[in-house]
Amino acid sequence: MFVYSLQLNLKIGDVDSNLEKVFSILNSRKIKSNSLVLLPEMFSCGFDNENLYIHSRKTPKIYRDLQKISSEKSLVIAGTVPERKKNDIYNMGFIIDNGEITAKRPKVKLFTPTDEHKYFKSGRNNFDITESSAGNLGFMICFELRYPNISYHLRKKDVEIILVPAQWGKERVEHLKILSRARAIETQSYVVVSNTVGKIGEIEYAGHSAIYSPWGDILDIERNEEGIVSADIDLDEVYKVRNKIKMEF
């Protein structure tokens, strides 16, 4: 099965431009059918925090458009978008599997140095996995990558692929690389990272989107440019590694 991670430079607040870029890639021959595709955190608008209520109005249509692509190409598509519930905005992780929204989970650990807590409501500590046509999937959304208790819960529930949609700052690039690889090794799972790159608003982002094997090997990585990270993975490898080094959870 092919797994893809998109590394993008976004235009902050420009939903139409960002979606045009995303949909163009998803509809292209670069993305094979019957695959898993991870999009960056907040790929529709970036952290245009003052206008999140406006951007959240477009989220239902974004879901529908992604469902259509997912159905036509038999894709599992995941990422995060701003979603409004009552008077609160969540950084909502979603999984669309063959045209159906099969899971949603809002970001729990908000990144206070950039004031996420002032604009988003935190989700509850409910770190479930989602059974999908691409395997057992679990989210660690950007800053959550720093919390080993989250990866512990996912591993305990038999996660096979950990999805890390991110907008991770360039000054912390070494943290992203080390933590991503560590989560793969400690959970004996695939880890897929989709990050932004270049300057977006006032922040420079780290790039280094990557796919890591359950053994901690780098299967593919895109460091400093926009691009598509991809790997042909075999979920049997997860269980070969877990049988080789048995761990109790």
CATH of residue 129: 3.60.110.10
Residue 126 pLDDT: 85
Confirm whether 171 is domain-assigned.
Answer: yes
Residue 125: pLDDT over 90: no
Confirm whether 15 is domain-assigned.
Answer: yes
Confirm whether 239 is domain-assigned.
Answer: yes
Encode pLDDT of 19-74 as tens digits: 999 999 999 999 999 999 999 999 999 999 999 999 999 999 999 999 999 999 99
Confirm whether 70 is domain-assigned.
Answer: yes
Encode pLDDT of 82-111 as tens digits: 999 999 999 999 999 999 999 999 999 999
Report how far apart, in Å, the C-alpha atoms of 65 and of each of 157, 174, 198 are.
31, 35, 27
Q: Based on the structure, what is the number of domains in the chain?
A: 1
Residue 249: pLDDT over 90: no
Boundaries of domain holding 10? 2-244
Looking at this protein, which amino acid is placed at residue 208?
A: H
Confirm whether 41 is domain-assigned.
Answer: yes
User: What's this model's pTM, rounded to 2 decimal places?
Assistant: 0.97
Confirm whether 130 is domain-assigned.
Answer: yes
Distance separating alpha carbons of residues 204 and 190, to the nearest angstrom: 27
